[in-house]
């Protein structure tokens, strides 16, 4: 009857039915993708169009901004663009140990580039600092402290960096290494962190230094290669870290998520696993190739990931700038493209203007 009131219990039933149907659609989509012999990247990208489109959550939005390409301006101007023009509150920067920073074991460390970053994080912004990399001389075991590459990294680089910058409130969180399971990175072989147990040992050493030097700063675990793409190897590495007690040393669990692969999220157990880690989760890298696909990715896939894994507290888009071709670009700003600003870049500018 027109105008008749719907009893409350029927309203609840209707809401429950809508939620059930939405989850059923996601499960069916995941099933279809899982039985395709090969799902093309374009098919995977288009599959997210079945997900609801939400607004960009700027309170959780972060941006990888390594500011190491002078074509985009000085360190100061790039950081001001990220935080001022785009309205980003959370940055991820890289403090890498390499031959340019310390060419020999006895050479003084050149902190000048990292000093420039540290003093130019704009007011209202904070940065997650990735501490990674090895100079070439670390490949020689005779340069290791006590015969341990991991102890040497912690004492000669991690400790030095925290002693220099740990009091800087805008460098609020510190991430120990990056993608330790990546077999294509020879530094992982030198450190031995292709083994999850060795990475947990590295975490224990770094945590001791953090507690001593910068106890108020958050310690963030290294994310593996994309947990959904390098499946099941990256997923299994994450599971091993949890079983080995990594959360005793880290305040934040980190993941990387590129592409879509909803079937691995929903049917492969990734979402259920991440719900068990017991500490906040930061997605420290995630992105989509193509300057016209990024906004759709962030507005559809990211909210869905948070729905499936409520513990995801922060999401860092990769990346701010790049020097790549149009077909391979993840960046929101790329001077090699016909239009350097991606759709996500332009959207962030419009949000800042509101």
Res. 11 pLDDT band, cuts 50 70 90: very low
Question: Per-residue pLDDT tens for 142-154?
Answer: 999 999 999 999 9
For residue 335, whether the previous peptide bond is cis, meaning omega lies within 30 degrees of 0, is: no
Residues facing residue 181 across a β-bridge: none
**195, 323, 333, 354 from 338: Cα distances, Å:** 43, 13, 11, 27
Q: What is the chain's Cα-based Rg?
A: 22
The domain locations on the chain are 36-352
Rounded Cα gap, residues 179 and 171, in angstroms: 21
Question: Per-residue pLDDT tens for 186-230?
Answer: 999 999 999 999 999 999 999 999 999 999 999 999 999 999 999
pLDDT in the model for residue 49: 93
pLDDT of 241 strictly over 70: yes
Q: CATH number of 36-352: 3.30.930.10, 3.20.20.80, 3.40.50.720, 3.40.718.10?
A: 3.20.20.80
Backbone angles phi, psi at 200, to 5 degrees: -65, -40
Question: Per-residue pLDDT tens for 262-285?
Answer: 999 999 999 999 999 999 999 999
pLDDT in the model for residue 354: 66
pLDDT in the model for residue 352: 84
Question: Per-residue pLDDT tens for 115-173?
Answer: 999 999 999 999 999 999 999 999 999 999 999 999 999 999 999 999 999 999 999 99
pLDDT in the model for residue 327: 85
Average pLDDT over residues 228-249: 97
């Amino acid at each position: 009857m027109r105008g008749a009131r719907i009893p409350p219990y029927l309203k609840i039933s209707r809401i429950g039915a809508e939620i059930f149907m939405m989850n059923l659609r996601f499960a069916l989509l995941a099933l279809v993708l899982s039985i395709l012999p090969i799902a093309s990247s374009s098919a995977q990208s288009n599959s997210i169009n079945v997900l609801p489109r939400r607004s960009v959550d700027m309170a959780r939005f972060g941006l990888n901004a390594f500011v190491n390409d002078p074509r985009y301006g000085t360190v100061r101007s790039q950081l001001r663009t990220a935080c001022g023009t785009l309205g980003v509150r959370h940055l991820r920067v890289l403090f890498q140990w390499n031959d340019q920073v310390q060419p020999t074991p006895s050479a003084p460390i050149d902190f000048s580039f990292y000093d420039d970053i540290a003093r130019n994080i704009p007011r209202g912004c904070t940065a997650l600092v990735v501490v990674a990399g090895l100079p070439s001389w670390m490949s020689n075991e005779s340069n290791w402290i006590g015969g341990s590459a991991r102890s040497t990294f912690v004492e000669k680089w991690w400790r030095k960096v925290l002693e220099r910058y740990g009091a800087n409130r805008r460098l609020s969180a510190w991430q120990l290494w990056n993608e330790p399971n990546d077999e294509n990175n020879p530094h992982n072989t030198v450190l031995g962190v292709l083994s999850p147990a060795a990475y947990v040992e590295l975490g224990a050493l770094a945590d001791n230094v953090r507690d001593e030097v910068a106890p108020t700063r958050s310690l963030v675990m290294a994310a593996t290669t994309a947990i959904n793409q390098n499946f099941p190897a990256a997923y299994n590495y994450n599971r091993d870290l949890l079983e080995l007690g990594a959360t005793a040393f880290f305040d934040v669990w980190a993941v990387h998520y590129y592409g879509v692969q909803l079937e691995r999220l929903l049917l492969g157990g990734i979402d259920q696993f991440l719900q068990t880690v017991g500490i906040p989760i930061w997605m420290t890298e995630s992105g989509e190739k193509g300057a016209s696909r990024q906004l759709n990715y962030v507005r559809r896939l990211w909210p869905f990931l948070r729905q499936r894994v409520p513990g995801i507290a922060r999401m860092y888009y990769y990346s701010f700038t790049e020097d790549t071709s149009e077909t391979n670009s993840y960046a929101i700003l790329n001077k090699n493209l016909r239009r350097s600003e991606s759709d996500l870049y332009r959207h962030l500018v419009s949000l800042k203007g509101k």
